[in-house]
Amino acid sequence: MQLSEQPGGRRAAPGPGGFDPEVVRKDFPVFEHPVHEDKRLVYLDSAATAQKPRAVIERVVRFYETENANAHRGIYELGERATKAYEDARETCARFVNAATPRSIVFTRGTTESINLVRYAWGRANVHEGDEILVTEMEHHSNLVPWQMLCGETGATLRHLPIDERGLLRTDLLDGLVTERTRLVCVSHMSNVLGTINPVREVADAAHAVGALVLVDAAQSAPHLGVDVAALDCDFLAFSAHKLCGPTGAGVLYGRESVLEDMPPFHGGGEMIREVWSDRATYNEIPYRFEAGTMNIAQVVGMAAAIDYITALGLDAIRAHERELTAYALDAVASTGAEIYGPPTAEQRGGVVAFNLPEVHPHDLATIVDEDGVCIRAGHHCAQPLMRRLGVPATARASMYLYNTRDDVDALVASLEQAKGWFS
């Protein structure tokens, strides 16, 4: 962690439990810059993308200034520095998800690409007519549309695990929905709309009992809860750097080593090959078999710096802070008369609060609160089937992270109250 110096060179004192969001906030240069000329930035859209601490920005700059070359190409010293930074990042990611080996870590551009890699490389080889893929009713389009496409290509059937009225997964229905025809179960660890934290291990056990594999969309959980692929017992897990304070353009696909070993490549091109003839090629070992062409090296290095940053702060401390802030936000937003979607308690959800104010379109709401420097997202949040299940076309959504404080929630609520006044 890069603790910010206070004026006079003293470090700010940490709050109870050693975690103080006011101190953390100072690590993020974006908060030094007002919006709308003089408004304090109230950033409540971290589920879309997180802000970047100085440690990450400086690491990317240092890479470009002192290590920049292509990875796994140049045998000169600069090239070796780039390769080392890139491969060190793989080890950081392996430790972060508790993978047994860095060979299980494939770099991608983010969660969406990670899931599409599985769709193409694993799906085309393993999913056939008559097979079934099970997804949940709360999936982001990234963990839904690729499976619709794969089913369309192969003649497999897509099935859906419903949610209940509180936005919790109906795991009681797993027995009937996971059958000997099921090849893959795809589940989000934490919903980007409802915030629901799903019982992934229970889903994985049901899938494995019939020989199916499990893919976990950890886009929201990796930054806020941390993930442990051994404890989850998943076969694939995907996340993006940009939601955990890292750069855009980098992400990870974790794959169980034995599963990756048996998978054909995704993209064809440089570095993913062992030997090439004019009419055929043999392929590299894992994970390089899945990393064709020049990768986003600086972004991957920045992702490792982001992981170092959040792990130094402690995922448990981040989660405890977000749980406390979410409980506060659930009460505060409810006090405006808004309808809130998702589980009722902060224990069951991450720091995401999707809501609607009666009679106010969420897009209008987001535009109005922006005038006060408050950034929230409005829309379907790339989860249109879930919106239909909730019976709404769209919601507003406030999402919190390690740098948010009660002041941010208070600013949102004050702005919502003002917006209500305009529409009454």
**Residues in contact with ligand C6P by the rule CB under 6 A:** 47-48, 110-112, 140, 142-143, 188, 192, 217, 219-220, 240, 377, 381-382
- β-pairing, 251-255 vs 236-240, is antiparallel
Which amino acid would we find at residue 21? P
Provide the CB-side half-sphere exposure for 248 (13 A, CA).
3
Alpha-carbon torsion angle 127, 128, 133, 139, nearest 10: 70
| DSSP collapsed to 3 states, the chain | CCCCECCCCCECCCCHHHCCHHHHHCCCHHHHCCECCCECCEECECCCCCCCCHHHHHHHHHHHHHCCCCCCCCCCHHHHHHHHHHHHHHHHHHHHHCCCCHHHEEEECCHHHHHHHHHHHHHHHHCCCCCEEEEECCCCHHHCHHHHHHHHHHCCEEEEECECCCCCECHHHHHHHCCCCEEEEEEECECCCCCEECCHHHHHHHHHHCCCEEEEECCCHHHHCCCCHHHHCCCEEEEEHHHHCCCCCCEEEEECHHHHHCCCCCCCCCCCEEEECCCCEEECCCCHHHCCCCCCHHHHHHHHHHHHHHHHHCHHHHHHHHHHHHHHHHHHHHCCCCEEECCCCHHHECCEEEEECCCCCHHHHHHHHHCCCEECEEECCCCHHHHHHHCCCCEEEEECCCCCCHHHHHHHHHHHHHHHHHHC
Choice between 35 and 382, CB closer to ligand C6P: 382
Choice between 112 and 404, CB closer to ligand C6P: 112
Closest CB 383 distance from ligand C6P, rounded Å: 8
Choice between 313 and 354, CB closer to ligand C6P: 354
151 belongs to the catalytic site: no
Choice between 220 and 326, CB closer to ligand C6P: 220
**Which is nearest to 133 in space by CA: 253, 237, 214?**
214
Quick one: DSSP state of residue 11? B
Closest CB 366 distance from ligand C6P, rounded Å: 12
Choice between 26 and 377, CB closer to ligand C6P: 377
Closest CB 108 distance from ligand C6P, rounded Å: 9
Residue appearing with tokens 């240069």: 29
Choice between 118 and 219, CB closer to ligand C6P: 219
Choice between 83 and 220, CB closer to ligand C6P: 220
Complete DSSP assignment for 20-49: -HHHHHTT-GGGGS-BTTTBPPEE-BTTT-
Closest CB 240 distance from ligand C6P, rounded Å: 3
Closest CB 181 distance from ligand C6P, rounded Å: 26
Choice between 113 and 235, CB closer to ligand C6P: 113
Closest CB 47 distance from ligand C6P, rounded Å: 5
- The catalytically annotated residue of 93, 186, 234, 382 is 382
Residues with catalytic roles: 382
